[in-house]
Amino acid sequence: MKDREQFGRKIAQFQITQHKLADMATKIEQARLLTYKAAWNFDQGRLDPKLTSMAKMVAGRTAVEVCDEAIQLLGGYGYMAEYDVERFARDAKICEIYEGTKEIQKNTIASALVGKLK
């Protein structure tokens, strides 16, 4: 983005591009903080499936959304197998599937919030 030029400007100079980067960086930081909180909680000897499920779900979703935006920012190059970001996107998607799909993480979070109903 700092190299490629379109309409006489670097892609990274467009404000919409910079806003996308700001959103991506913010999402990553949110996911990181939630993950660290869940890990810290575990290190304190507390088991909180709600928190770990939130961390897993948010980190997986963030990886998918950020990689999708990264492909978009690189345009056609982003989609091509020759560029790393295409592989990052495939690697990210599995985070929403293995070790508990995002739907199952939501079940865990919801049951912790609602509790057992009779």
Ligand X SMILES: Cc1cc2nc3c(=O)[nH]c(=O)nc-3n(C[C@H](O)[C@H](O)[C@H](O)COP(=O)(O)OP(=O)(O)OC[C@H]3O[C@@H](n4cnc5c(N)ncnc54)[C@H](O)[C@@H]3O)c2cc1C
Nearer Cβ to ligand X (80/94): 94
Annotation marks residue 5 as catalytic: no
Catalytic choice (5, 29, 99, 103):
99
Q: Least distance to ligand X from the beta carbon of 105, Å?
A: 9
Q: CA-based angle 69:31:77, to the nearest 5?
A: 20
Q: Least distance to ligand X from the beta carbon of 117, Å?
A: 16
Nearer Cβ to ligand X (13/108): 108
Interatomic CA distance for residues 79 and 27, integer angstroms: 22
Task: By CB under 6 A, name the binding residues for ligand X.
Answer: 94, 97-99, 101, 103-104
What residues contact residue 43 under an 8 Å CB cut-off, 6+ apart? none
Q: What is the dihedral of CA 14, 17, 23, 27, to 10 degrees?
A: -150
Beta strand residue intervals within 2-118, DSSP E: 5-6, 9-10
Nearer Cβ to ligand X (11/65): 65
Q: Least distance to ligand X from the beta carbon of 23, Å?
A: 26
Active-site annotation, residues: 99
